[in-house]
């Protein structure tokens, strides 16, 4: 029987979370021509830029108000106004996101009031400037992303005539995942407004001359038009679920909050929801992709059945991966997230009961805690980010890398784990890791590696 536990130790050792401002910064990258001003010290901008650059392998541009000891005491109003002036005059962005930090929140700067003052004093500034509260002592990186989406849902949409489109909130995913979701909608002849879309802005190309802003991203016009869509589909409960409800309450657009489309059943729910809200038939191409995923699972079952797995990462990602693991015959033993979301623990218990699992659901926990658990009760595989490499190396357990950040491998941000094709990729990746660890295959039979030192 599964249980929900919460880490009692106050100090985090090898945490799986990042700071809240990085979520607002990433979401802003999904709006074409938009820039973020980080209202805090220089380090509050440098750390997120460093994290994102190592994962996406792209230059990350984020402005900072560079608060110092003096501004910490007397307030950062002048720095923020100067930052907005400089960003607007030098870059002429389509939008500016001002995100707070621990420092600016603690000293009590009225960021919204300062922005309003700036707009009143600069009538020539004709772009939206939004503020997002992202103190890192509340929540994690996904909190910042979610707060951005809620701000967009309140500030941008303008009710007009129906557009026949569907609002889609992928949540915190990789560019490859967004492209796969876009591909699935296209295969059904559906046009989506993605809130937001950083598939090209953070996985772009080399162009000459270099454009002022990267290609791609959701436009401001699309954000405004999102009030006229057929429905809003959030593909992560904790990154977009509340924003989808805002669309329903304020603009009368039906909201659907679905599990992240990882694996067969969750992808089925997404495709069926698209069909329901648009009246479109599920395309033959998508049916073929589903059939290939089923075939891949059948082909791999003899190598994967009953192997134990530990899964860590963001709440919605972990929930999706637990279901996928069960679908392909693995036994999830540990499911860990750094977030302290009681509803997530309740949802995971329901999922565990549905699938008949016996696992420990670890909330507000870190990888040192997972390391101790795995030493006591070994597993065969680990699913998670590069932060799990220390467990992989010390306990000699294969780490199947997915999520954010992936710093010690190349190109993972381009690989989709969602949809039927993403499921095939995961089945192949997981099975090959097992084969590399366990031994070799002869005539479709897995021969275990001999014990070291045996005759």
pLDDT in tens, 70-80: 988 889 999 99
- The predicted model gives 41-62 an average pLDDT of 93
Say if residue 8 is in the same domain as residue 56: no
Residues 64-115 have pLDDT tens digits of 999 999 988 889 999 999 999 999 999 999 999 999 999 999 999 999 999 9
Q: How far is the C-alpha of 272 from the C-alpha of 213, rounded, in Å?
A: 36
Say if residue 45 is in the same domain as residue 103: yes
List strand residue ranges (DSSP E) for 153-303, in order. Answer: 166-169, 192-194, 231-234, 255-257
Say if residue 221 is in the same domain as residue 290: no
Q: For residue 112, is it within any domain?
A: yes
For the record, the structure tokens of 427 come out as 């089945």
Pairing label, strands 445-448, 439-442? antiparallel
User: Using only C-alpha atoms, what is the Rg of the chain?
Assistant: 23
Say if residue 293 is in the same domain as residue 441: yes
Say if residue 275 is in the same domain as residue 289: no
Which domain, by its residues, includes 255?
166-283
- CATH number for the domain that contains residue 100: 3.40.50.1980
Q: For residue 156, is it within any domain?
A: no
Element (H, E) at 245: helix 241-251
pTM score, two decimals?
0.94
For the record, the structure tokens of 133 come out as 């509260």
Q: State yes or no: pLDDT of 288 exceeds 70.
A: yes
Split into its structural domains, the chain has a count of 3
Q: Is the dihedral of CA 52, 185, 250, 93 positive or negative?
A: positive
The whole-number pLDDT of residue 455 equals 38
Q: For residue 304, is it within any domain?
A: yes
Residues 440-452 have pLDDT tens digits of 665 566 666 654 5
Q: State yes or no: pLDDT of 183 exceeds 80.
A: yes
């Amino acid at each position: 029987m599964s249980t929900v536990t919460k880490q009692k130790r106050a100090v985090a050792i090898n945490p799986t979370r990042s700071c809240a401002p990085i979520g607002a910064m990433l979401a802003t990258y999904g709006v074409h021509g938009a820039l973020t001003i980080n209202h805090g010290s220089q380090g509050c901008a440098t750390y997120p830029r460093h994290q994102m650059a190592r994962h996406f392998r792209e230059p990350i541009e984020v402005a900072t108000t560079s608060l110092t000891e003096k501004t910490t005491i007397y307030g950062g109003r002048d720095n923020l106004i100067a930052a907005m002036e400089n960003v607007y005059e030098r870059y002429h962005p389509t939008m500016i996101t001002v995100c707070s930090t621990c420092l600016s929140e603690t000293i009590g700067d009225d960021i919204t009031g300062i922005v309003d003052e700036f707009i009143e004093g600069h009538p020539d500034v004709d772009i939206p400037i939004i503020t997002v509260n992202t103190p890192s002592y509340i929540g994690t990186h996904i909190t910042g992303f979610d707060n951005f989406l809620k701000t967009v849902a309140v500030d941008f949409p303008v009710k007009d005539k129906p557009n026949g489109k569907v609002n889609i909130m992928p949540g915190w995913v990789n560019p490859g995942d967004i492209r796969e979701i876009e591909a699935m909608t296209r295969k059904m002849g559906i046009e989506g407004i993605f809130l937001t879309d950083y598939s090209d802005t953070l996985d772009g190309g080399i162009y000459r001359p270099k454009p002022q802003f990267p290609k791609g991203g959701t436009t401001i016009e699309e954000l405004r038009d999102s009030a006229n869509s057929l429905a809003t589909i959030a593909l992560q409960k904790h990154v977009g679920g509340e924003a989808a409800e805002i669309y329903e309450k304020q603009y009368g657009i039906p909201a659907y909050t679905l599990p992240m489309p990882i694996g067969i059943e969750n992808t089925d729910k997404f495709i069926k929801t698209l069909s329901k809200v648009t009246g479109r038939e599920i395309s033959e191409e998508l049916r073929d992709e589903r059939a290939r995923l089923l075939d891949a699972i059948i082909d791999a079952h003899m190598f994967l059945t009953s192997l134990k797995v530990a899964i860590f990462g963001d709440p919605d990602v972990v929930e999706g991966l637990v279901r996928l693991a069960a679908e392909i015959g693995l036994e999830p033993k540990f499911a860990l997230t750094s977030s302290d979301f009681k509803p997530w623990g309740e949802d995971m218990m329901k999922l565990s009961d549905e699938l008949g699992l016996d696992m420990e659901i670890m909330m507000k926990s870190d990888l040192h805690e997972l390391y101790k658990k795995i030493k006591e009760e070994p597993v065969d595989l680990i699913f998670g980010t590069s932060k799990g490499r220390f467990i992989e190396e010390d306990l000699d357990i294969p780490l199947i890398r997915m999520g954010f950040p992936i710093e010690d491998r190349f190109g993972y941000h381009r690989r989709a784990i969602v949809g039927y094709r993403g499921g095939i990729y995961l089945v192949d990746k997981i099975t090959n890791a097992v084969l590399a660890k366990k031994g070799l295959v002869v005539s479709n039979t897995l021969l275990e590696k001999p014990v070291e030192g045996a005759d």
